[in-house]
Amino acid sequence: MTRDDLYEQGMKTRRAVLGDAHVDRAEATKTEFDADFQQYITENAWGSIWSRPGLTPRERSLITIALLAALGHEEELAMHIRATRNTGASPEDVKEVLLHTAIYAGVPVTNGAMKIAKRVLNDD
């Protein structure tokens, strides 16, 4: 695939997972400063990794939630919990992946992730 192909596939996948409104907001706030970074994540995260056939969007979503929770990346975690509406992951799936995360990444970080999940799943 060319870089243009990766970017096009990445945008398609990114929109499918995060939704048009989120991607449109991100694109609208893109500046010369972060344009290269936005291109990088669109091509690599969304075009190369999220678009691979080996895992379903639901499975990728749950893995991403576990990793973001474990690393304490709260803003990205909330975004990916919101994205479960598009990936087929249920609130029960999110609960189970966070319970699993507590064992392998720790209770304090998962406590924060549970609060974020409750807020996003109940308020958004």
CB 13 within 8 A of CB 46: yes
pLDDT at residue 124 tops 80: no
Could you tell me the residue ranges of all domains in the chain? 1-52, 56-124
Query: What is the pLDDT, as a whole number, of residue 105?
Result: 97
Q: Which of 35, 33, 36, 44 is nearest to 10 (CA)?
A: 44
What global pTM score does this model have?
Answer: 0.93
Residue 120 DSSP one-character state: H
Q: Which residue has the higher pLDDT, 3 or 92?
A: 92
Write down the architecture of domain 56-124 according to CATH.
Up-down Bundle (1.20)
Percentage of the chain lying above the pLDDT 70 cut: 99
CB 113 within 8 A of CB 105: no
Please give the Cα distance from 67 to 98 (Å, whole number).
10
pLDDT at residue 114 tops 70: yes
Residues 8-45 pLDDT 10s: 999 999 999 999 999 999 999 999 999 999 999 999 99
